[in-house]
Chain A
Amino acid sequence: MLPLILREISFRKGHTTIMLCGLISVTALMTAYLSTESAAERETKRVARDLGFNLRILPKQTDMDLYWFQGFSDQTMPEATVERLANYQGVFMTYNHLMASLRQKITMGGGDVILVGVAPTITSPDKKKRPMGFTIKARTLHLGYQVGQRLGLKSGDTLQLSGHDFKIEKVMVEYGTEEDVYVYGTLKDVQGIAGKPGQINEIKAIDCLCLTADQDPISILRNELEKILPEAKVIQDRVQADARARQRQMVQRKFEFLSPFLMVCGAIWVAVLSALNVRERRSEIGIWRALGKGGGFIAGLVIGKAMIIGFFAGFLGFWVGNTMALEVGPSIFQITAKAIKTEWSYLVWSLILTPLLAAAASFIPAMLAVTQDPAETLRES
């Protein structure tokens, strides 16, 4: 049967080309979309991550009015709190990153600055994600833009605090936020400067809970953390958490919509063309019947043709889609452009799924061909 199908395919070049183009388009778009999808996802996460942390854990006695007013808690809690939180196997509470810090207002160069001591980020052992943020070496400081301007300091200079010399590792660019008056150091150094050894006053956490916006996670979290961190209280950065969730869901929804849409369009395209092909071949089908060929043979001619065209469309569609992803993708997803690469597994899937899609789409036309009364056809013509 294969030689017959191949001869028919090469004989009806116009029909073959149109069907091939339709299937190539679907496969190419799917391949291009999937190839850039991981880059888009990474880009989305990157953007979402930059929105900030979605949980803050503060000492229980924190005066929240003062906290919001000055940007840090006036209370402290033991540094071990973050270790306890990291080791806790929570039911609702999950996290990707935990970062403990001690914040303290000090006067420096005639003005106030917020001194921030940052502990190394703790990454969830389950997530295998790289630590976030920047690393600060002992006895070095990162100055906010405004502090650097006020003190006239630049990278490599030395600053004396509490009788110790600190090297200025970096003066940060202007963020246009309160971070411009921050001075970052290691937690240990800042604890020493502030005279609060072993103390922190904030734990920031990311991706601690995946709840939809219509639920109220804060009371669940508070109940859970109350048991392990009686000295702390939790506030959720709801807006940022929701924004992150919405952004991810949007990407997901876009794909969930696009995939079936493309598949349905491709299937309709193939089905219509197969039906037209069957109509065009009415007398041929009649003569095959007269020659004693059964329904399986007739269906095989229609579905086999679709599958063979689907196979070539799978290959060409992958090639076109992959080229599109490699050529156009980097200009769209600039942050993670290097992550866009040829995904050979998509070639395998294209070679499997495109013929199957074509076969499924040509099933009804094939059944029309099988049930067509050959006598009627031969009598009419």
Chain B
Amino acid sequence: MLTCESLCKYYQSSKGMVKSLDEINLSVSKGEFLEVRGHSGSGKTTLLLTLGAMMQPTQGKVVFKGTDLYRLNRAERARVRSSSIGFVFQMFHLIPYLDVVGNVLAGDDGNHSGACSKSEALLQELGLGHRLNHLPNQLSAGEKQRVALARAMVASPDLILADEPTGNLDPENSKEVCRHLKRYQEKGGTVIVVTHGDAVHDFANRTIDLKAGEIIPGPLLDPQSDEA
């Protein structure tokens, strides 16, 4: 469903050229739960944003459902994101002035009938039935992340891209979030999670390790280490 070929992303910094992604070749099948592990600065987030049609690679291509994403213009990529990709971020990125239901429906363009009832049902499923009209600043970190999950899932996208979704959560909430992602995958969705921890490991079908922008063979992270 998703492949990338020779994917590179370079940045020009004051210290010279930084290779954030270097010749990444990756294929993700529909219904897969992929864990991408790597230390801070390994290029995980860059990979995620590039796969999610958010960041133009320096070279290489990303093919999603048969379409080379970066041959599309910005508006077309936006439409792909809107219809087929859900994002979850470590910092939740909830819209502070919208309540829980409003945040979940933020990406809705108003064309989906029953979106509101669907979002409420999803929030019930995620254990947020009692928080529907609360603002983000009235929620705990775990609850915020579950709202972000609901927002990513509500349009039933083919692909969910999660960037350190457990990074700000305690172990219990981390497992809760992973369970929801797993359930989504089991219902036929595709999930890619980038993380530097090991909370997701037990839920993923496949794990790849990233170091200095390259996929490396074999285990990278020591499960005991939780280096940020």
How far apart are B156's CB and chain A's nearest CB, in angstroms?
A: 14
Known: A291-B81, A292-B82, A294-B78. A284 touches B55 (CB 8 A): no
Q: B83 at the A/B interface (Cβ < 8 Å)?
A: yes
Query: B70 within 8 Å of A by Cβ?
Result: no
Q: Given the complex of chains A and B, what is the CA–CA distance between A374 and B49 in angstroms?
A: 10
> Do A7 and B97 touch (CB < 8 A)?
yes
Residue contact A375 to B102, C-beta cutoff 8 Å = no
Residues of chain A within 8 A (CB-CB) of B54 are: 289-290, 374-375, 378
**With A283-B91, A293-B78 in contact, do A7 and B83 touch (Cβ < 8 Å)?**
no
- The one of B74, B81, B93, B106 in contact with A378, judged by C-beta atoms closer than 8 angstroms, is B93
**Is A290 a contact partner of B87 (Cβ separation < 8 A)?**
yes
Interface centre among A293, A294, A375, by most chain B C-beta atoms within 10 angstroms, is A375
Q: Which residue of B lies closest to A376 (CB)?
A: B55
A292 touches B97 (CB 8 A): no
A286 with B93: CB separation less than 8 A: yes
Establish whether residues B45 and A379, one from each chain, have CB atoms under 8 Å apart when the complex forms: yes
Task: Return chain A residues, CB-CB under 8 Å to B81.
Answer: 289-292
State whether the Cβ of B46 lies closer than 8 Å to any Cβ in chain A: yes
Within B40-80, the residues touching A (CB, 8 Å) are: 45-46, 49, 52, 54-55, 74-75, 78-80
**Residues 89 to 135 of chain B near chain A (Cβ within 8 Å):** 89, 91, 93, 95-98, 102, 106-107
B93 touches A287 (CB 8 A): yes
Inter-chain contacts of A11 with B (CB < 8 A): 96-97
A: contact size bracket: 20 to 34
List CB contacts (< 8 Å) of B157-202 with chain A.
Answer: 163
Q: Is A160 an interface residue (CB 8 A)?
A: no
Check B49 against A379 for contact (C-beta < 8 Å). Answer: yes
A319 at the B interface (CB under 8 A): no
Report the separation of the CA atoms of residues A374 and B56 in the bound assembly, to the nearest whole angstrom. 11
Residues of B within 8 A of A288 (CB): 106
Contact among A283, A291, A294 for B107, CB-based, below 8 A: A291
Report how far A294 CA is from B77 CA in the complex, Å: 10
A292/B79 in contact, CB under 8 A: yes
Task: Identify B95's interface contact among A287, A294, A374, A381, CB under 8 A.
Answer: A287
Interface status of A8 (Cβ within 8 A of chain B): yes
**Interfacial chain A residues near B52, Cβ < 8 Å:** 290
Within residues 60 to 116 of chain A, which ones have a CB less than 8 A from any CB in chain B? none
Query: CB distance B89 to A292 under 8 Å?
Result: no
CA distance A11 to B49 in the complex (A): 30
Bound form: Cα–Cα A358–B80 in Å: 34
Per-residue CB proximity of A339-381 to B under 8 Å, as 1/0? 0000000000000000000000000000000000011001101
What would 10 more interface pairs be, CB under 8 Å, given A284-B95, A290-B81, A293-B78?
A8-B97, A286-B93, A291-B82, A292-B80, A292-B82, A293-B82, A378-B45, A378-B49, A378-B87, A379-B55
14 contacts between A and B (CB under 8 A): A7-B97, A7-B98, A10-B97, A11-B96, A11-B97, A287-B106, A289-B78, A291-B81, A293-B78, A294-B75, A294-B78, A295-B74, A379-B49, A379-B55
